[in-house]
Amino acid sequence: MTQNNLAVAPRDRVLSGMRPTGALHLGHYHGALKNWVRLQSEMECFYFVADWHALTTHYESREIIEKNVYEMVIDWLAAGLDPAQCTIFLQSRIPEHAELFTLLAMGTPISWLERVPTYKDQQEKLKDKDLSTYGFLGYPLLQAADILIYKAKWVPVGEDQASHVELTREAARRFNHLYGKEAHFDALVQQTLAVLEKDSVKRLEKSRKAWQQGGDAKALEGAVGFITGHAALSTPERERLEAWFRGTGKAVLTEPQVLLTTASKLPGLDGAKMSKSYNNAIAIREDKAQIEHKVRRMPTDPARVKRSDPGDPEKCPVWQFHRVYSDAATQQWVVSGCKSAGIGCLECKQPVIDGILAEQQPMLARAEPYLRNPKIVRDIVDAGTERARTTARETMKDVRAAIGLNY
């Protein structure tokens, strides 16, 4: 269906990825996945498993990655990604990502990578791992290759990834600047100018200055008219002269933009950011008994020592869950019951448990056939990878030609 729509009206392209380093949890669902699902019907979406990116930090524990690649895709499908509407693929199956990464690396100053804030932050945070590797330094540039190879316009990611998208834009700009012109461009321009009358060349040079230095739009208009209407020039010669006049190269790579996903409104069970490593997460496909157990164990407003002590929802992580899972009437019941000690905390938690289980119900139903027959998941990833690779190959043809690697 998507493919047909595409032929009729090209839609903006979206690309995003996740690292397969652990089971996805409700923080991922509310912070990112829900948004991915919404986007799939609005734009042309590519979503991929960033297993190479996982290796930059887990190169000593590849079993974790291996275990989570297809588990993560099942979580995506459970959340509602529809392979008929979006393209789901595996990074390491598309070697063109590595090729573009290598080519971008040639002209990328090391300082650009060293000053990306996540570089030092993550090294600090993950002290138990040796991240003084070449691969980890290159993390954002590999991400740039992921994005640029699909000429994606939008990258739905959280605030923490914004600096990586900024680096991607810089890499694209640099590439277009370096290679957006054909090889021997200047010499060829001189040859082409030599075809024209001396007077015309003088006029062109004058109005080129007026356009490039003074932004004179009339000068541009006049020159483009002259160039395109000149009978002695071939089409490549006209294009070359126009590029020379404008002072721009061809945009081989497209500068993407962040499509900011608002930070997840759902914190972890203890009120901190939900994360598997903080032990405060509920997995998307967590079993019912575990969900009940985890919510019942959640800390509450410390002021409520006894059942008769009043509390304040603002000081309680359970309230943050009510804000996501409960309707207005239930929320009202929580606020007044908490402040007046009219309800107990276990009582208060029940609607949260019910809300999580209700949200999970359709996800478990969607996951079920994939768990029963994992081959379907592999087929989905195979088909998506094939589709993505076709696009990646096309971009690499342009990229190689632009650099002049077509000897």
Compute the radius of gyration of the chain from its Cα atoms. 27
Total binding residues toward ligand SF4, as defined by CB under 6 A: 14
Nearer to ligand SF4, 339 or 397 (CB): 339
Does 146 sit near ligand TRP (CB under 6 A)?
yes
Find the binder of ligand TRP among 19, 97, 151, 294 (CB under 6 A): 19
- Tell me, what DSSP letter sits at residue 33? I
Measured distance CA(389)–CA(407) in Å, rounded: 23
Of the listed pieces 143-151, 192-200, 213-221, 327-335, which binds ligand TRP according to CB under 6 A? 143-151
Measured distance CA(21)–CA(358) in Å, rounded: 27
Measured distance CA(297)–CA(295) in Å, rounded: 5
Q: In what order do the strands lie in the sheet with 44-49?
A: 87-90, 44-49, 13-18, 154-155, 257-258
Of the listed pieces 9-17, 95-103, 185-193, 314-322, which binds ligand SF4 according to CB under 6 A? 314-322
Nearer to ligand SF4, 127 or 306 (CB): 306
Does 44 sit near ligand TRP (CB under 6 A)?
no
- The burial of 139, by beta-carbon neighbours within 10 Å (0-12 exposed, 13-18 middle, 19 or more buried), is given as buried
Are 80 and 47 spatial neighbours (Cβ–Cβ below 8 Å)? no
Does 108 sit near ligand TRP (CB under 6 A)?
no
Total binding residues toward ligand TRP, as defined by CB under 6 A: 13
Nearer to ligand TRP, 95 or 225 (CB): 95
Find the binder of ligand SF4 among 113, 137, 193, 343 (CB under 6 A): 343
Measured distance CA(2)–CA(222) in Å, rounded: 42
Does 319 sit near ligand SF4 (CB under 6 A)?
yes
Does 334 sit near ligand SF4 (CB under 6 A)?
yes
Measured distance CA(37)–CA(79) in Å, rounded: 8
Residues 266 to 295 in contact with ligand SF4, rule: CB under 6 A: none
Minimum CB–partner distance for residue 143 and ligand TRP (Å): 4
348 binds, among ligand TRP, ligand SF4, none (CB under 5 to 8 A by kind): ligand SF4
Measured distance CA(354)–CA(200) in Å, rounded: 78
Does 353 sit near ligand SF4 (CB under 6 A)?
no
Residues 256 to 315 in contact with ligand TRP, rule: CB under 6 A: none
Give the side-chain half-sphere CA count within 13 A for 127: 2
Does 324 sit near ligand SF4 (CB under 6 A)?
no
Give the side-chain half-sphere CA count within 13 A for 99: 17
Are 400 and 105 spatial neighbours (Cβ–Cβ below 8 Å)? no
List residues near ligand TRP by CB under 6 A: 15-19, 50, 53, 143, 146-147, 155, 157, 161
List residues near ligand SF4 by CB under 6 A: 300-301, 304, 311, 313, 316, 318-319, 334, 338, 343, 345, 348-349
